[in-house]
Amino acid sequence: MSWLLKLFETYERCAGHEPDGAQKLMPICHTPQQAHLEIALDGAGNFKRAQVISSVETFIPATEKSTSRSGSLVAAHALADKVQYVAKDYPAFGGKEKGHFANFLAQLEEWCESDSTHPKARAVLAYVKKGTVVHDLVAHQVLVARDGLLLTSWDGDGVEPLVFKQLIAKDDGNEKTKDQGGALIRWVVEVAPGDPATDTWTDASLHASWIRFYSNQQTRRGTCAVTGSLASLLASKHPKRLRNPGDGAKLLSSNDTGGYTFLGRFQNADQALSVGFDVTQKAHNALRWLIGRQSYRNGDQCIVCWSIGGEAVPDPFMDSWGLMNAFNVPGDPGFADTAQVFALRLRRSLAGYSSKLDPGSDIVVMGLDSTSGMKGRMAITYYRELKGSEFLGRIEAWHTKVAWHQNFGKDSHFVGAPSPRDIVEAAFGRRVDDRLLKATIERLLPCIVDGQGIPHDLVVATSRRASNRSGFKSGERWVWEKCLGIACALFKGYHTERDYQMALEPNRTTRDYLYGRLLAIAEDIESRALFVAKETRDTNAARLMQRFADHPFSTWKTIELSLVSYRARLRSKRGAWLFGREQLLDEVMSLFNVEDYTSEVPLSGEFLLGYHCQRRDLASSKTGSIEADANTPQPDSDE
């Protein structure tokens, strides 16, 4: 149960010390709910006004039972709740009542009669006792009724009432209905003129009043398995709504007395696990807070990384460009366009984190997922604890290992590592199945946090997709460029022992690397010829790239023969330029071993590195590139 202890410690250290602009940690004995209506009262409990509000998350006082209620279970929240709970006259307007109001009233009266009473709670009690909640809301056109009954759907003329826009439709036989009794009411209580804290959901004194009252109601004591305390108040139920207010999946649950949750091994749930009441409340509140402010989300999958002390930590799911721009570091060299500048920027960016993060600080990375959506059980799919210095070292190692020239768009170029999601899309396409996306993200997480090797199948998948250039639509040039950079990054990161450089390596004589260089040179020659002739079509090198990867020798013969006519065209108009390219082509050819050159063994992803590096070197050479031609008028005579 280490994760519970770390979350509990996080709450204890961060409560009241949340970063500026961050949401406050929710107090214990409260739950987040989507509020739909707001009623304002005076200190004596007299109705003043009401309005429909956009569904906003509101922290409301609650019990263990009410936070876990579902289906037909009647368990009222302490102060703010649905219309069917707080309105005595709800049945008079056609609502179905099964003891909801009586349950709400009894609990509120008990609170108000205790030593922990609060004037705002007493004002709400005085008002709901009058039994005019629905009447007042209908009179002020907040709820909608016809012939004395609340409507379940809007079929009238004009604009649909706001309350119907906030409610979720339910399938009721042959039609979908919206129960206005399901609208949750929160309270504004103006105890005295000029009271700065009229909102009950932000009043710290009201929160403290409810916490004292409800804590005094707990009688179950025993040993907390998390803290080791011998006389703790024990929790009977554990919170839900971790990923969002509608999340019903739980990490801890022992309410299944007829199945196999604990039966067969223990006689009751406490024998399986006993957790302190305040421990589980604070731990779950801390997890909810962390998920809301700094987690990676993909449907039901949620991965969160945090420091126990609340210090900022680098996001493992961020690409290098985002990581390097997270801190404005003095002396930052700016845009990283070389390996040296990238390494400097990366170190300085991580130094920005380490300056605020103690090397001995505890860092936790935790993955959550559920197979049944927002209901049932939630599982911890990944969990690691690291020290601050170790975590920063792992992040730096990952971004250094898979650093490459990335081309994410016309105005988005950087040297560094792609994000895990970009890697998945490069391997399987942008329309990747959600299950495959989640599974692959989980496989990449240990590569980043634990320093494990990159899965070989991902390296192969990205290389194959980048090689299939003709498989990308004509308007997806940047998508292919992005895929190419990511494929090179993964291949380089997988083969760290080969020490690939991001710049062209003229002395590297491996077969695949040389074939990649040949393809880049051939493409450059044909591209220049097409540009001179003002033709806009794909080169043979681009169209045959996949076939070239599978059958390099025979395909290269086809590509080389197709260059004859283009050379003739360039020899009369770009003779000097062509001479330089032909010399380079001969130079690369001379580096081949004869047996390697004539072999038809498919090329590995290494040819993409040779292709990418050679292409970049040609584009930046003093003799110019296609882009230079486009911006500089060229004479028809030889250069």
pLDDT digits (tens, 9 = 90+) for 296-325: 998 889 999 999 988 889 999 999 998 888
Q: Tell me, what amino acid is at 495?
A: H
Say how many CA atoms lie within 13 Å of 605 toward its Cβ: 26
Q: Which of 405, 416, 417 is nearest to 615 (CA)?
A: 405
The parts of the chain modelled with pLDDT lower than 50 are 329-334, 622-639
Burial of 94 (0-12, 13-18, 19+ CB in 10 A): middle
**How many beta carbons lie within 10 A of that of residue 264, not counting itself?**
7
Instruction: Tell whether the torsion through CA atoms of 171, 175, 178 and 182 is positive or negative.
Output: negative
- Give the pLDDT confidence score for residue 50 in this predicted structure: 95
**Partners of 306 in the β-ladder:** 364
Q: Tell me if residue 302 falls in helix, strand or coil.
A: strand
SS3 percent helix, strand, coil of the chain, rounded to 5, is 45, 15, 40
pTM of the shown model: 0.85
Place of tokens 């011998």: 230
Q: Tell me if residue 221 falls in helix, strand or coil.
A: strand
- Give the pLDDT confidence score for residue 256 in this predicted structure: 57
Q: Tell me, what amino acid is at 99?
A: G
Contact of 288 with 241, CB cutoff 8 Å: yes
Q: Taking CA 192 as the corner, what is the angle to CA 189 and CA 193, rounded to the nearest 5 degrees?
A: 105
3-state secondary structure 143-194: CCEECCEECCCCCCCCCCCHHHHHCCCEEECCEEECCHHHCEEEEEEECCCC
**How many beta carbons lie within 10 A of that of residue 69, not counting itself?**
15
- Give the pLDDT confidence score for residue 639 in this predicted structure: 34
**How many beta carbons lie within 10 A of that of residue 452, not counting itself?**
12
- Give the pLDDT confidence score for residue 629 in this predicted structure: 41
DSSP structural state of residue 234: B
Q: Residue 428 and residue 446: Cα distance in Å, rounded?
A: 20
Q: Tell me, what amino acid is at 533?
A: A
Q: Which two three-digit tokens encode residue 185? A: 């009411």
Q: Taking CA 103 as the corner, what is the angle to CA 102 and CA 107, rounded to the nearest 5 degrees?
A: 110
Place of tokens 């400097």: 344
Residues for the chain: how many in total? 639
Contact of 361 with 307, CB cutoff 8 Å: yes
- Give the pLDDT confidence score for residue 68 in this predicted structure: 82
Q: Residue 313 and residue 388: Cα distance in Å, rounded?
A: 9
228: left (phi over 0), alpha (psi -120 to 50) or beta: left
Q: Which of 131, 164, 209 is nearest to 52 (CA)?
A: 164
Of all residues in the chain, the percent with pLDDT exceeding 90 is: 59
Report domain extents, the chain: 26-217, 299-497, 507-631
Contact of 180 with 151, CB cutoff 8 Å: yes
Q: Residue 145 and residue 122: Cα distance in Å, rounded?
A: 29
